[in-house]
């Protein structure tokens, strides 16, 4: 898999500095749904090549945080800085072009399109020709399309999915659909990727493989990854930092070791000792 390298015409992946300036910052983030504070006072800083985890009981507001960070919802409070730039008022596609990509808890693939086409849609902004160029089939169209296809197959090869390129995405098995979503997100050339329950529905050996691949993606592309996951083995195994959310509020932050031993976290997950 070492052949993964940036291809010249498809958008050069910049050599990301491994410095300590954060790629993503959220300050005092909050959203209010009809009087209910779904998320409040959410603060988060993620380094450029960090793998971070967002955990918490069901209904804690984890996916809502993702939706805030990717602008599916506009936050009612607080600021989000992506690579130091304020994203307030931007749309989903604008922040995506700025370098934030995501997957969805309830898979959102383009079901009627092939696996390859799904990745090509992800590469949309990396392909450079205009509508007129496409209609007249200028050489730049052919070149860009060829490079994009090569690039897409290469990205699919991370999960050994090149062979499935011409299968309809909707007919893939569940696990493969989750992996394809990651590939598609990766195709947008992000500097940070948000994975919403990437291991959901996978068996332990698949999960293990996924852990390897997430690490590999980070190392190859030098990007940050923030993931929501219920599988504690995965979270504790690959995350360098963990944020625990409960009732829309952060109740703990720290390394996996610190989180494991944090009484507030244990209480949130298992309930109060007296109650049991």
Partner 1 sequence: MLLLSQLINGLQLGSIYALVALGYSMVYGIIMLLNFAHGDIIMAGGYIAVLILTAGRNPVLAIILAIIGCVLLSVLIEKVAYKPLRSAPRISLLITAIGVSLFLQNMAQLLFTANARSFPNTVVIPAINFRIGSINISLTALVTIVVTIISMICLTLLVQKTKMGKAMRAVSEDTDAAKLMGINVNSTITFTFATGSTLAGIGSILYCCRYPLVSPTMGSLLGLKAFVAAVLGGIGSIPGAMIGGLAIGFAEVLVSAVGLSEWTDAVVFAILIIVLLVKPTGFLGRSMQEKV
Partner 2 sequence: MAKRRIPTPVSYAINLVLIALLLVVGNIVISSGITSRAQNSLFLQVGIYIILAVSLNVVTGYLGQLPLGHAGFMAVGAYTGALVWKATASMPAPVSIVLGLLVAGIVSAIFGIIIGIPALRLKGDYLAIVTLGFGEIIRVCIINLPEITGGTPGLLNIPKHSTFTLVYVCVVLTCVVIHMMMKSRHGRAILSIRDNEIAAESCGISTTYYKVMAFSVSAFFAGIAGALFAGNQGSLFPNAFDFMASINILVMVVLGGMGSMIGSVIAATVLTSLPLVLQVFSKYRMIIYSLMLIIVMIFKPSGLMGTYDFSLRNLLEKLTGHISKKREAGTNE
Residues forming contacts to partner 2 in the complex (CB under 8 A) are 70, 72, 91-94, 96-97, 101-102, 104, 108-113, 116-117, 120-122, 124-125, 127, 129, 131, 134-137, 141, 145, 148-150, 152-153, 162-163, 165-166, 184-185, 187-188
Q: With contact defined as beta carbons under 8 Å apart, do 14 and 157 qualify?
A: no
67 belongs to the binding site for partner 1 (CB under 8 A): yes
Report the C-alpha gap between 36 and 16 in whole angstroms: 39
Q: CB of 161: closest distance to partner 2 in angstroms?
A: 10
CA 123, 102, 240, 224: dihedral to nearest 10 degrees? 40
Closest by CA to 221, choosing from 3, 16, 46, is 16
User: How many other C-beta atoms lie within 10 A of the C-beta of residue 91?
Assistant: 12
Is 118 a binder of partner 1 (CB under 8 A)?
A: no
Q: Is 102 helix (H, G, I), strand (E, B) or coil?
A: strand
Q: Cβ 170 to partner 2, closest distance in Å?
A: 9
Q: Which of 4, 7, 13, 72 binds partner 1 (CB under 8 A)?
A: 72
Distance CA 223, CA 49 (A): 5
DSSP structural state of residue 114: B
Token output for 142 = 């052919």
Q: Does 181 bind partner 1 (CB under 8 A)?
A: no
With helix as H, strand as E and coil as C, how does 128-144 read?
CCCHHHHHCCCHHHHHH
If binding is defined by CB under 8 A, does position 63 make contact with partner 1? Answer: yes
113 is an interface residue for partner 1 by CB under 8 A:
no
Pairing of strands 241-246, 51-55: parallel
Q: Which does 63 bind (CB under 5 to 8 A by kind): partner 1, partner 2, none?
A: partner 1
191's contact among partner 2, partner 1, none, with CB below 5 to 8 A by partner kind, is none
Q: Which is nearer to partner 2, 42 or 104 (CB)?
A: 104
- Near partner 1 by CB under 8 A: residue from 104, 141, 159, 221: 104
Report strand pairing: 241-246 vs 36-47.
unpaired
Q: Taking CB within 5 to 8 Å according to partner kind, which of partner 2, partner 1, none is near residue 127?
A: partner 2
Nearest-approach distance from CB 188 to partner 2, in angstroms: 5
Residue numbers at the binding site for partner 1 (CB under 8 A): 63, 67, 72, 104
């Amino acid at each position: 898999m070492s052949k993964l390298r940036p291809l010249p015409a498809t958008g050069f992946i910049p050599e990301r500095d491994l410095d300590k300036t954060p790629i993503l910052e959220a300050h005092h983030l909050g959203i209010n749904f009809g009087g209910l504070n779904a998320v409040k006072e959410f603060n988060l800083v993620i380094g450029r090549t960090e793998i971070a985890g967002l955990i918490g009981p069901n209904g804690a507001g984890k996916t809502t945080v993702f939706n805030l960070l990717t602008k599916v919802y506009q936050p009612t409070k607080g600021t989000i800085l992506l690579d130091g730039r304020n994203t307030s008022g931007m749309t989903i596609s604008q922040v995506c072009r700025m370098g934030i990509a995501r997957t969805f808890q309830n898979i959102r693939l383009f079901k009627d399109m092939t696996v390859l086409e799904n990745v090509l849609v992800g590469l949309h902004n990396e392909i450079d020709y205009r509508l007129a160029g496409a209609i007249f089939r200028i050489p730049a169209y052919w070149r860009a399309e060829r490079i994009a296809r090569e690039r897409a197959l290469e990205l699919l090869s991370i999960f050994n999915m090149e062979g499935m390129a011409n299968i309809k995405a909707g007919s893939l098995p569940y696990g493969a659909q989750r992996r394809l979503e990651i590939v598609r997100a990766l195709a947008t050339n992000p500097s940070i990727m948000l994975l919403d329950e990437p291991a959901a529905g996978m068996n332990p050996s698949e999960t293990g493989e996924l852990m390897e691949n997430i690490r590999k993606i980070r190392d190859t592309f030098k990007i940050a990854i923030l993931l929501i996951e219920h599988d504690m083995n995965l979270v504790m195994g690959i995350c360098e930092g963990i944020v625990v959310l409960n009732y829309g509020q952060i109740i703990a932050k720290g390394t996996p070791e610190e989180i494991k031993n944090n009484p507030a976290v244990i209480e949130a997950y298992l309930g109060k000792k007296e109650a049991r």
